[in-house]
Structure 1
Amino acid sequence: MSTTQPPRVLITGGAAGIGAAIVERSRCDGYTPVIIDRAGDGIRADLSDPDDTARALSEALADGPITRVVNNVGAVFPGSAEDQTLKDLELAWSLNLRTAVQVTQALLPGMKETGFGRIVNMSSRAALGKELRSAYAATKAGLLGLTRVWALELGQYGITANAVGPGPIATDLFNGANPADSPLTRDIIDSVPVHRMGTPDDVAHTVAHLLDERTGFVTGQTHYVCGGLTVGKAHV
């Protein structure tokens, strides 16, 4: 009888929303999800705190290397250009961007030793520009830069790095940052060419493709899961 263990995939912010959908899809695809979040049944940690992040990573790697990672954790900090506080900017940088760097750096030695790795960074369509999103858009755009650099640096080791940019997805995070009675929210939804909001499962499906060992010739790319929004009103 084989004693081979299912491959593990580390998912930050996997307790709810898009992260939870990625966790469930990963299980269906035969992976063992390793979740780091401030809530839920996985490894509990405040990922906005570098020290707590390091502790959680040490716990996650105690059972050996993890060669797949979804840097999913993130938060929106709404504010106009005049009103975006430096405190929110620093928190957005730490949670949305620094965490991805710290997590990936912790996993890279194992990926290199194995000669295989899949890195998926959760960006956002807002990286292309959106009102009241200075901190959020800047940090999510930063993930696109990291993705491209990592693709160039790590390809020789069998490691791919790609980004996913969700558009309007029906999650508590979206609903909290985009009030249903706001004209801006209605305008976003009405602009989607497929005439519906996305679902967390829509995003999880794209992530699953990028985590697959057969997707070794796709790297440095940003996959927008937006119902066509990036080629419509909010085009690139």
Structure 2
Amino acid sequence: MTSSTHTPAVSRPRVLITGGGAGIGAAAAQRCRDDGYEPIIIDRVVEHIPGAIQADLSDIQDTARALNEALRGGPITRLINNVGVVVPNDAASQTLAEFDLAMSLNLRCALQCMQALLPGMQAAGFGRIVNMSSRAALGKDLRTAYAASKAGLIGMTRVWALELGQYGITANAIGPGPIRTALFDKANPPDAPRTQKIIQSVPVKRVGTPEDVAHTVSYMLDERSGFVTGQVLYVCGGMTVGVASV
């Protein structure tokens, strides 16, 4: 009589990704799968993503509901705060409603997600937080609300690095430059003179891809990156050289 042994499935480390339904977030989610993680995606449109959680992350109560749902499966020790909105407008015309939306979705949501996951990270003595900022945090026309929210995200990243390092938790930010997503192509047709001007302003003479950013996310999520925290890495093809401080 022969006997068979059953090897239980090994659960994969989970990563919470806000705004993981498209663009940079979707590329980050795929890279997480490739790296052996299980991405837990929260986004506004998720019908095309099995197991994702639908939520309006600009709403505090709906965000709380989605986070509770995500954490039902247990603690999550990796977080990518990626969701965001641009709301472009000149300084004189930027509305307070646009400003409030940018602050809620780009900034408040990140804080709320971190606070929800923090107890599990502290209990594990390990955590990785990646905040998706922007090169626009350094200043960009038509971006009053957006730049302010993304600069605020960098400020929070630095504070979290100081406060959470003692628990084995790192917090870092990524500042993408022009990245070719569906939204970018819609606003910047490939053959348009304005698009060509953007490309020529990039030292590597191309716009980035979501996968370029996802590769950086992968490094920051890795457990071997524990001595890097409170940093901002601009994935911008060199556009910030001469602009960002050394």
TM-score band, normalised by shorter chain: over 0.9
Asked if the contact 1:9–1:70 (Cα under 8 Å) also holds between the matched residues in 2, the reply is yes
Q: Name the structure 2 match of 1:39.
A: 45
Q: CA RMSD in A?
A: 1.5
Asked if the contact 1:127–1:140 (Cα under 8 Å) also holds between the matched residues in 2, the reply is yes
Cα deviation code 1:175-198 (max 9, x no counterpart): 455566876544332110000010
1:195 aligned onto 2:201: no
- Correspondence 1:79-228 to 2 at 5 A: 79-178=89-188, 185-228=195-238
1:108 offset after TM fit, Å? 0.1
1:3 offset after TM fit, Å? 3.9
Structure 1 Cα separation of the partners of residues 65 and 34 of structure 2? 28
Q: 1:54 aligns with which of 64, 67, 79?
A: 64
Q: Tell me the SS of whatever aligns to 2:225.
A: coil
Query: Which moves more between the two structures, 170-179 or 116-125?
Result: 170-179
Asked if the contact 1:10–1:35 (Cα under 8 Å) also holds between the matched residues in 2, the reply is yes
State how many pairs are aligned. 235
Q: Name the structure 2 match of 1:17.
A: 23
Structure 2: gaps spanning 5 or more residues? 1-6
Structure 2 Cα separation of the partners of residues 139 and 231 of structure 1? 22
**Matched AA of 1:21:** A
Structure 2 Cα separation of the partners of residues 4 and 93 of structure 1? 39
Structure 2 Cα separation of the partners of residues 75 and 200 of structure 1? 16
Identity %: 69
1:20 offset after TM fit, Å? 0.3
Q: Structure 2 length normalisation: TM-score?
A: 0.91
Structure 2 Cα separation of the partners of residues 178 and 98 of structure 1? 29
**Matched AA of 1:109:** P
Structure 2 Cα separation of the partners of residues 185 and 142 of structure 1? 28
CA 70–141 in structure 1, closer or farther in 2 if over 3 Å, else same: same
Structure 1: gaps spanning 5 or more residues? none
Cα deviation code 1:78-123 (max 9, x no counterpart): 0001011110000000000000000000000000000000000000
Structure 2 Cα separation of the partners of residues 107 and 143 of structure 1? 17
Asked if the contact 1:229–1:235 (Cα under 8 Å) also holds between the matched residues in 2, the reply is no
Asked if the contact 1:75–1:173 (Cα under 8 Å) also holds between the matched residues in 2, the reply is no
Query: Which moves more between the two structures, 171-180 or 151-160?
Result: 171-180
Q: Structure 1 length normalisation: TM-score?
A: 0.95
Asked if the contact 1:13–1:35 (Cα under 8 Å) also holds between the matched residues in 2, the reply is yes
Q: Tell me the SS of whatever aligns to 1:6.
A: coil
Structure 1 Cα separation of the partners of residues 142 and 183 of structure 2? 15
CA 182–145 in structure 1, closer or farther in 2 if over 3 Å, else same: farther
**Rg comparison, structure with higher value:** 2
Structure 2 Cα separation of the partners of residues 178 and 139 of structure 1? 23
